[in-house]
Structure formats: structure tokens, C-alpha cells
Amino acid sequence: MISLPSIAFWPSLNNDSPAIRQKPVPASTAEFNWRHYLSPGHWPTWLGFGFFWLLTRLPFPVVMKSGRTLGALLYRCLRKRRGVTLTNVQIAFPELDDAATEKLAREAFSHVGMATAETAWTWFRDAGDMGEMQFDGVEHLEQALALGQGVILLQAHFTVLEMCAAVVGPRWPISAVYDPPKNPLFAAYLLAQRYRHLQTLIDNRATRDMVRCLRRGEIVWFSPDQSVPAAHGGITTEYFSQPALSSSGTARIVKMTGATLIPFIPTRHENGARYTFKFCEPVILCSDHVPLATQQVNDVLEAHVRAQPEQYLWAHKRFKPPTAEHTNPYA
């Protein structure tokens, strides 16, 4: 559902930012043992880490410019991902002509490149040297935490999410739901990085662990905006006016725990010169009707994406056909 890197530092913020809290020591941590990954099969990944380190020796604006260049290169080279992105944009915004669709797709890849640059920076440099950062709506999160029934941070898959842990994690005890990467070296290294800032990480299939965290009055952070098979709890709803399989987990977890649902919107401004992290007013779900509550979640996420579509991760196949009667747009 969500994947977040982090690194051990305390980012500097402007005067509008909340005071940093003392984060509790994680119940478990992931130690990265590099000696387990010395075989030749892992060398390309090590070279990638080395490139990240070298890239971050440059000033942050230069690194972000390099990220935009990388995004343009990815758009040209990753044909399948480009095709999925173009298809999704066409489905979500049918009013756009071909030129406008391609323009939005290129902008989305540019933001993916900048997200890669941000990830590298949070691994090897201090976030205080990144763009200006501001928190909005902190009172909504604080009031929800004061109720003691747990908080779900609901976020769409925006490209800024990879740097969020390094900025948000040190301020509140957060457990992030994630989907482990397939590359074993990258997965192990990323897990170790995430644990530097997050209280814990929860596999996206471990619903019981999410419920336990919420019943302890903690924060669980996830992004339920990807296609979920019916066998894994997916139900047919609408997303951008299209039939789509969506996770019913948010509605079910809220019903079980009484947790407060706080939408969270991270935004990159001016190519990384400034960032905002917005906690929105709580959303009250129709918790007794799971399909309706799930549609509410979709509607919230869709509204956020419509407000900044260039920053959304369009490369995943969100509009897979719910049933055999529906046409597969990716075929």
C-alpha cells in the first residue's frame, strides 16, 4: 500500500511547523547486513546505491534538476510504464486531447524522477538542506490523537510519499503499511532506512497488526488506491467514474477500531523549492455499509488526485477489469 524510505536526521522547518516529539524506540528494527549481498547478482543494485551517493554530493537544486532529466529518460525508455500511464490518464481525464494527455504523462514522469532524487537525498544527506517545508492542519491530527482510538493517515500514491517518513516520522509515532520490494538487496536496505524514522512497518496483508496499532491509540499510514483482487478483499467501486476493484480494508478497520480517518496530502512545489504536508479534517465514513464507505474513500482520494494529477503515480494498473464482463484497458 505504501512504501517509505527514511534516514536518521532531524529536518529543520519554518516557524509554522510543529515541535518535534520524542519518538519511542521501535519494538523491532531491521538491521542491514551488507555481507549477505555481495554476489555478482547484486552488483547492479550496489552500483545504483553508489550513483545515488555520488548524485547527492551536488547541491539540492542540481540534484532535483537531474531527477527531472531522469524522469524524461524514463518516459522514453520504460515503454510499458509509459503505456499504462497514458492509458490511465486517458481514462481519468477523457476530456483531454492527445497532446494534453501526453503532456500530463510527461509531467508525471518528471515528478517520478524528482521523487527518485528526493529518495537519494533522504538516504545520504540532511533534509534540512532540501526545500522549505511547512505543515498545515496539524490541529486535526492532534485532536484525533487525543481521542485515544488511533488515527489512519489516508494518502493517495503521490510521488512525494517516499520522502514523507524522513519529514513526518520523527514528529509522531507512525506505523506505515507497505508492500515489500521484490529485489532482496533493495528490500533489505530500504527496510533498514525506513525503520530509522518510523515506529514500525506493517505488511499490507497484516490487517491484525494494523488493528492492534490503532487500538493502542497509534497512527497507521497507508494508501488504499491501488487495484486489489477480490480474493484479497477487493470490491467493485468507482474511481474516476470507472468500475475498479478497491480495498475494503479502510472501511472495515474503521468499523472495528473506531479510528479517526485523517486524509493527508503531501505536495511538491516549484520542483522541490518548497513542500507542504497537509492534514485534512477527519472523514466520517458510513461504517455500517462497507461498499458505501469504500466509495467514500475513493472519492476523497480522487479529489486529491484531481487537484494535483501531475504528482500522482499513474504507472500502476488501477483500472483492471473487476469482472470478465468488463473490458481490460491494458490489453
Rounded Cα distance, 260 and 100, in Å: 38
How would you classify the pairing of strands 274-279 and 260-269?
antiparallel
Residue-wise pLDDT for 256-282, tens only, equals: 999 999 999 999 999 999 999 999 999
In this structure, the number of other CB atoms found within 10 A of the CB of residue 285 comes to 20
Q: State the pLDDT at residue 18.
A: 39
Range in 28-37, 224-233, 270-279, 305-314 with the lowest mean pLDDT:
28-37
Q: Is 212 exposed, middle or buried (0-12, 13-18, 19+ CB in 10 A)?
A: middle
The C-alpha atoms of residue 71 and residue 80 are separated, in whole angstroms, by 15
Over residues 97-124, the pLDDT tens digits come to 999 999 999 999 999 999 999 999 999 9
- 278-323 pLDDT tens trace: 999 999 998 789 999 999 999 999 999 999 999 999 999 999 999 9
User: How far, in Å, CA of 159 to CA of 74, rounded?
Assistant: 15
